[in-house]
Structure 1
């Protein structure tokens, strides 16, 4: 039986921690598979997908292709479709089906780090771009009670709120600009968990998206970035419950693995490989 090849695509993608994590999973379960990173520019996406039909058993998608890939797929998971964000594609005899494991990844990262459960709870998202879309829709679907959306451009937060409300009319949603510090403080104080979804923190000289001192002592703070951002450092110094984005990457990757192989992901083998790969990069 021929080895199955899987990939992660994006631009950039060289920094991806997914290949060592997924290859560790294949090795742990003695699955004859290999996972590689492929740099795909936006103008190359259609050709890549056509080639993937013939060569790949499945692939993950990262920035900037999570929405752009949709027209090239044959089937979209109805739960993932409203968010317009796909991160996992499965190839069954040339038929490409897409879903998102991002929401599952964040849900399980928060459960593991904070024992946070979505149903009946409250959450504030800092940033309403790609990272927030799929996860905010997932939280709405899982029974969140109140959703607070903060974004640099208020109209982006309002547009996402309108989209979510169209599918989940009973969910209470509030929006504000990240520049409106009184609203930021109010939203944080009314939330059990804060999820930092902006790209601020990827570069060492990036400012924090909000003044760190606005983080309440009792909040669970999750940063989707893997580095020690200003907000993560502040949370650590003040004894605020906090976690970085590695847990989300682990759990969304484990879900992708299970979708592709039909087997339970070897979580601890994947976690170990992920932590080792992350330590090598930093």
Structure 2
């Protein structure tokens, strides 16, 4: 039997067997009444977070389910109102990580400073935002390359939501150098200005400053690909790939075989995709929601299985 309710804004939310969102009416329908956690995004069909989180709940002996919702930007406010009354927590991916912030009741200081939230905890009808992206990336870098952020020289491609959160993590954990490269240089400069005041040396470059990019890459410890380039099959690379030829290591936050990763592999550059980051940020979200350690092995196995299909 579907369960329906009307929010304070007049939006109707129904728990039934299908997932959908209707623009003006802002109707969101649960895949199953048991679902109390979810990931939202636009797009979101590609997400393998449900496989990973559901494996975690099962391994932990928790009778919970995790789904996914395609939420367009114009429907985000309606979804958060729905979540207050129907969910225990949710993850957010592009393009919602910054737009969520003013819709939440409380945001962790680090997430607020980074202007990026990827995890929301629902308690007593209130929404609490946090970011686990930085933690996830740091853990993944340690696993893939044995890299410690403190004292490292990092080149980061991108200045969007995930890049903001990870850049804040790099600065907070005292990376020696952070070079931010973005197609629109002013966005890289704005992020660098926002991060200024710590011990990390900051540089902002535009994609067309090829000589400076090549030098920064060669003198770095790792290049982080933090844009959404590669999420879709025909996406253009985030920069001229030849600029990566002297990179010591490449980490792409996308968990697909992107052009950046293909180039790195073909040139024998140590590299890793974003599955390690997804695993560790998801495990951190799991712990924030449940107040218990995440069953990492079960979540890793489910994630690998989902990505290798």
TM-score with structure 1 length normalisation? 0.94
Shift of 1:140: 0.6
- 1:135 is matched with 166
Are 1:4 and 1:32, in contact at CA under 8 Å, matched by a contact in 2?
no
Q: CA RMSD in A?
A: 1.6
1:130-149 alpha-carbon deviations (Å, 9 max, x no partner): 22111101111111111101
* Rounded Cα–Cα distance in structure 1 between residues aligned with 2:53 and 2:42: 19
1:87 aligns with 2:114: no
* Rounded Cα–Cα distance in structure 2 between residues aligned with 1:259 and 1:202: 27
- 2:64 is matched with 33
- 1:161 is matched with 192
Are 1:148 and 1:173, in contact at CA under 8 Å, matched by a contact in 2?
yes
Shift of 1:214: 2.7
Residue ranges of structure 1 left out of the alignment (5+ in a row): none
- 1:149 is matched with 180
- 1:12 is matched with 43
1:123-164 alpha-carbon deviations (Å, 9 max, x no partner): 010111222111101111111111101111111111110001
* Rounded Cα–Cα distance in structure 1 between residues aligned with 2:127 and 2:259: 40
* Rounded Cα–Cα distance in structure 2 between residues aligned with 1:53 and 1:162: 35
Q: Size of the alignment, in residue pairs?
A: 277
Report the structure, 1 or 2, having the larger helix content: 1
- 2:289 is matched with 260
* Rounded Cα–Cα distance in structure 1 between residues aligned with 2:80 and 2:178: 35
Higher relative contact order (CA 8 A, sep 6+): 1
Are 2:140 and 2:277, in contact at CA under 8 Å, matched by a contact in 1?
yes
Are 1:212 and 1:231, in contact at CA under 8 Å, matched by a contact in 2?
yes
User: In terms of Rg, which structure is larger?
Assistant: 2
Shift of 1:196: 0.7
Shift of 1:229: 1.8
- 1:170 is matched with 199
Match of 2:150 among 115, 119, 127: 119
Residue ranges of structure 2 left out of the alignment (5+ in a row): 1-32
1:183 aligns with 2:200: no
Shift of 1:176: 1.1
Structure 1 outlier segments of 4+, above 6 Å = none
Shift of 1:218: 5.7
Shift of 1:211: 3.1
- 2:234 is matched with 205
